[in-house]
Amino acid sequence: MLRYLSRRFAASVLVLLTASFLVFTFVSYSGDPLFDLKMNPHTPESTIRYREHLLHLDVPLIPRFWIWLKGVIFHFDFGTTMSGDAVRPQLFAHMFITLRMVIAALIIAMIVSVSLGVYAALRRNRTPDRAIQVGSFFFLATPVFVTGLFFQYFVAVPIDKWAGKQILSTSGSSSVFAEGNFFQRIPDYLSHMTLPTLTLVLAIFSSWTIYQRSSVIETMSLDHVLFARSKGLSPRHVMRRHILRNALIPVVTVMALDFAGLLGGALITESVYSWNGLGRWFIGGASRLDINVTLAYLFLTAFFVISFNFLADVLYALLDPRIKSQR
């Protein structure tokens, strides 16, 4: 087990370093962040040279990447923005806002997709199965921004009008005038989180449900499952010990690989609900050619994606000991 995880961890680190270098190279050649400053005839040459030194633009690509990578690895320092502010505090602030929604959506989507997938497989080709498949394909084909706008105008507005007060917020991640500590502001957070989280859940649970249904149906026809049934074991025992554990293996892979799509969906969701999270922060930084902001977002995204893939490898070994022994 330890040897297997060590190999997977080393491969993950290598992939992360390679992705970091490629991202750094592409961003570095995407444009000159000091273009507007250089085009201003009133800008002193000393100011331009100082800003180039501050952003390490006066250093060749490879040494510049090494400077940036050392700062990230040893100090978690992503440099400064174009305005001279440190990137790290902004990254943490926006990341906390985004992760509130993403983690909640991830947990809910996992529970819903596994439950619906198993339920549909047990009632294969019946009305519940067909209804779940139709619903899954419908939400899979619906763009995230359409779902978000529907919730805003046809769910939040009628409910708030019926209640006579704001229950479901449609803009922002928290109220400007909310007071108190974190626990006292939980109702306000929930009011702002409900619709964005549901929007993100509907965007990702559909494909997971379809995969879970197919995996359960395939596992139910395997020899060891048929043998367990012939021994007279209860259906619940067969499902828990022989079907579900094996059927989760391919679904775990899909969930891990879809984490990048989850972050992409969060970016669109933040735009619809005016959340000042990582997505809007990245879009603003990229539009300004703010190199360090763009690099911080892309590096963090790559880190999360690779980490979830490593987590999938760990879960592989836990769910199916044969995988661990074969490796």
Can you give the pLDDT of all 327 residues of the chain as single tens digits?
Answer: 677 778 888 999 999 999 999 999 999 888 888 887 888 888 888 888 888 888 888 889 999 999 999 999 988 899 888 888 899 999 999 998 888 898 899 999 999 999 999 999 999 999 999 999 999 999 999 998 999 999 999 999 899 889 888 889 888 888 776 677 767 788 888 888 999 999 999 988 998 999 999 999 998 888 888 888 888 888 888 888 888 878 887 788 788 778 766 777 788 888 899 888 888 899 888 888 888 999 999 999 889 888 888 888 887 777 666 655 554
The Cα-based distances of 324 to 1, 2, 125, 256, 327 in angstroms read: 6, 10, 35, 19, 5
Domain ranges of the chain: 2-326
Q: Which residue has the tokens 């989760």?
A: 248
Contact 85, 292 (CB under 8 A): no
Superfamily in which the 2-326 domain is placed by CATH: MetI-like (1.10.3720.10)
Closest among 110, 156, 112, 159 to 132, alpha carbons compared: 112
Q: What is the pTM of this model?
A: 0.82
The Cα-based distances of 30 to 50, 269, 285, 294, 295 in angstroms read: 21, 26, 13, 11, 12
Joined together, the tokens standing for residue 276 give 């000042």
Residue 4, burial from CB neighbour count under 10 angstroms (0-12, 13-18, 19+): middle
